[in-house]
């Protein structure tokens, strides 16, 4: 029997490569049509404009500050009260980064699979679907894939379902 950490690592690799192949196949089935990112490149340094324009959403002043922080700094931490819109703005930031660079890699993490799938990625899926323009990428439950293996967004849970019951922390676990 392989040790747990080794098994997790193997599984991570397998799922990442499977995801890449799957997206290419899905892409082909969808007609191989690839949305260009060029019209969106103008928003590379303008996440607020991206939210207002292509996403068609209004942000609060504090949410705009968060986007500026992400644009201007390597690390941004947000402490705000319950329901203030933290997860929502994280979703906006993830889509902005993915859509305004080619290629781009976006990795999101949360303590549990539930938080990844039903909170952050639910917002991402909705924002992507309701955008005013057709955004690049094929949106999956917890990922956005393209036909470029170096251009993707994926959600990870810090705890796998294997160890979530006893609360032990393990390596990041892929959700897609």
Residues that bind Mg ion (CB under 5 A): 86-87
Asked if 12 touches ligand ATP (CB under 6 A), the answer is: no
Q: Which of these, 116, 117, 113, lies nearest to 162 by C-alpha position? A: 113
Q: How far is CA 55 from CA 11, 99, 128, 158, in A?
A: 35, 11, 8, 29
CA distance 57 to 101: 20
With binding defined as CB under 6 A, does residue 32 bind ligand ATP? no
Residue 115's binding partner, choosing from Mg ion, ligand ATP, none, with beta-carbon cut-off 5 to 8 A by kind?
Answer: none
82 lies in the binding site for ligand ATP (CB under 6 A) = yes
User: In this chain, which of 12, 87, 148, 164 binds ligand ATP, going by CB under 6 A?
Assistant: 87
CB of 90 to ligand ATP, least distance (A): 8
Q: Which is nearer to ligand ATP, 58 or 74 (CB)?
A: 58
Q: What CA–CA distance (Å, rounded) separates 67 from 95?
A: 12
Continuous segment of H or E residues that includes residue 138: strand 138-140
Q: How far is the CB of 123 from Mg ion (least distance, A)?
A: 9
Smallest separation (angstroms) from Mg ion to the CB of 161: 21
Kindly state whether residue 84 participates in binding ligand ATP, applying the rule CB under 6 A: yes
Q: Per DSSP, what are the bridge partners of residue 106?
A: 153
Q: Give which of 108, 129, 130 is closest to 119, Cα–Cα.
A: 108
Q: According to the binding rule CB under 6 A, does residue 54 interact with ligand ATP?
A: no
- Whose Cβ is closer to Mg ion: residue 11's or residue 109's? 109
Q: What are the phi and psi torsion angles at 38 (to 5°)?
A: -55, -50
Under the binding rule (CB under 6 A), the answer on residue 155 touching ligand ATP is no
C-alpha closest to that of 67 among 34, 101, 37, 44: 44
Nearer to ligand ATP, 87 or 109 (CB): 87
The residue ranges that bind ligand ATP (CB under 6 A) are 57-60, 63, 80, 82-88
């Amino acid at each position: 029997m392989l040790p747990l950490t080794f098994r997790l690592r193997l599984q991570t690799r397998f799922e990442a490569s499977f995801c890449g192949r799957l997206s290419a196949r899905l892409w082909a089935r969808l007609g191989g049509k690839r949305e260009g990112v060029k019209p969106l490149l103008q928003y590379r340094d303008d996440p607020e404009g991206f939210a207002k324009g292509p996403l068609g959403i209004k942000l609060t002043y504090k949410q705009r500050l968060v986007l500026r922080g992400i644009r201007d700094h390597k690390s941004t931490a947000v402490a705000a009260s319950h329901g203030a819109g933290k997860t929502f703005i994280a979703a906006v930031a993830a889509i902005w980064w993915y859509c305004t660079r080619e290629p781009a890699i976006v990795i999101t993490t949360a303590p549990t699979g539930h938080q990844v799938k039903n909170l952050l990625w639910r917002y991402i899926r909705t924002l992507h679907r309701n955008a005013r323009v057709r955004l690049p990428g094929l949106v999956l439950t917890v990922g956005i894939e393209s036909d470029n293996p170096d251009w993707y967004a994926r959600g990870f849970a810090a705890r796998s379902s294997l160890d979530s019951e006893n609360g032990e922390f393990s390596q990041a676990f892929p959700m897609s």
